[in-house]
């Protein structure tokens, strides 16, 4: 769940369908309601199958953590991710209860990481990990089971536990990125992220490629002189581009990022002889927990609680 996690949190739907749980090999069967009345469950919308699936929360979290964080990460980072995924699932449920999203067909959230947060079935995990399946499955499951009852709340409610891959050295506030001032989603240092091999990327585009990408931006038109295409940028202290002038029109940096499929909105644009060079720092929307930073904190001795309270300010960690 990375790029649209926070924005998608405001969408919503509901139809009542027969719940099901995933069995090994991808076979599904209806849940025995008498057997699962006491189970903590979540209903996830399977985007590839266009159907909702009801799962025990622990099983869902194994699949969500497996989809969202490398299994090679430190166990304490995996635990932090499990709590974040659990919290976000409950947050989404509260949103759906108030304003259902029709396309979810009664589910709490989607398994599409570009919409809500990812989820992999056991079959999907086997395909992803191959020969490493048994070791990775045991590691992720152990981390999940250690914290499966824990969630983060702010003023008594589950938070929108946004997370992303790598920052440019500090996270961004929800206000800077999304325009909403969320008390627990503030900018915090994440220095170790700058050591990540995924922190910096250079994209080189010809004038034609650049112009074709810019066509995705409504209301932006380019002159015949490519030297005039890029104007002033307004940036936050971290380098996050809040606004950029393209073709004489000022647009949000996140819109420019989306049009050009950049890794983050921390970027610089320079003119070359044949086109444009764009250098980015960070990977994702940059709000909430940096997964690379969480792993670095864990490697330095921080536990999952310390990781979460660093990235989410003023939250309470408790049993669900």
Q: Give CA–CA dist 40/113, Å, rounded.
A: 22
Q: Give CA–CA dist 106/88, Å, rounded.
A: 17
Q: Give CA–CA dist 53/51, Å, rounded.
A: 7
* Tens of each residue's pLDDT in the chain, 320 residues: 544 444 444 433 332 222 332 322 333 333 344 333 334 999 999 999 999 999 999 999 999 999 999 999 999 999 999 999 999 999 999 999 999 999 999 999 999 999 999 999 999 999 999 999 999 999 999 999 999 999 999 999 999 999 999 999 999 999 999 999 999 999 999 999 999 999 999 999 999 999 999 999 989 999 999 999 999 999 998 899 999 999 999 999 999 999 999 999 999 999 999 999 999 999 999 999 999 999 999 999 999 999 999 999 999 999 98
Instruction: Give this prediction's pTM.
Output: 0.87
Q: Give CA–CA dist 304/308, Å, rounded.
A: 6
| pLDDT score of 1 | 55
Q: Which two tokens stand for residue 208?
A: 């034609």
| pLDDT score of 19 | 30
Mapping DSSP to helix (H, G, I), strand (E, B) and coil, where does residue 262 land?
Answer: coil
Q: Cα angle vertex 178, ends 172, 180, to 5°?
A: 95
Look up residue 187 and give its DSSP letter: -
What SS3 string covers 271-316?
A: ECCCEEEEEEECECCCECEEHHHHHHHHHCCCCHHHHHHHHCCCCE
| β-strand pairing of 289-290 with 163-164 | parallel
């Amino acid at each position: 769940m990375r790029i649209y996690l926070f924005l998608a949190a405001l969408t919503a739907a509901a139809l009542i369908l027969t719940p099901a749980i995933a069995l090994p090999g991808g076979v599904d069967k209806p849940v025995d309601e008498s057997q699962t009345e006491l189970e903590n469950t979540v209903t996830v919308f399977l985007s590839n199958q266009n159907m909702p699936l009801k799962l025990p929360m622990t099983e869902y979290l194994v699949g969500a953590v497996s989809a969202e964080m490398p299994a090679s990460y430190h166990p304490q980072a995996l635990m932090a991710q499990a709590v974040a995924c659990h919290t976000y699932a409950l947050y989404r449920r509260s949103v759906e209860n108030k304003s259902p999203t029709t396309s979810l067909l009664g589910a709490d959230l989607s398994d599409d990481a570009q919409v809500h947060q990812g989820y992999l079935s056991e079959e999907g995990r086997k395909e992803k990990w191959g020969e490493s399946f048994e070791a990775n499955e045991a590691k992720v499951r152990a981390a999940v089971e250690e914290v499966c009852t824990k969630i983060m709340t702010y003023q008594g409610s589950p938070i929108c536990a946004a997370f992303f891959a790598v920052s440019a050295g500090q996270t961004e506030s929800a206000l800077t990125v999304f325009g909403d001032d969320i008390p627990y989603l503030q900018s915090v240092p994440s220095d170790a992220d700058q050591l990540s091999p995924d922190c910096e990327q250079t994209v080189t585009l010809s004038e034609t490629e650049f112009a074709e990408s810019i066509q995705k931006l409504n209301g932006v038109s380019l002159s015949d002189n490519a030297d005039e295409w890029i104007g002033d940028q307004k940036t936050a202290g971290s380098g996050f581009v809040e606004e950029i002038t393209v073709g004489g029109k000022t647009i949000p940096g996140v819109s420019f990022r989306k049009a050009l499929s950049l890794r983050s909105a921390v970027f610089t644009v320079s003119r070359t002889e044949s086109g444009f060079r764009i250098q980015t720092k960070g990977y994702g929307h940059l709000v909430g927990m940096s997964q690379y930073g969480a792993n670095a904190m864990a490697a330095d001795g921080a536990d999952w609680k310390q990781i979460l309270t660093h990235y989410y300010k003023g939250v309470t960690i408790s049993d669900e």
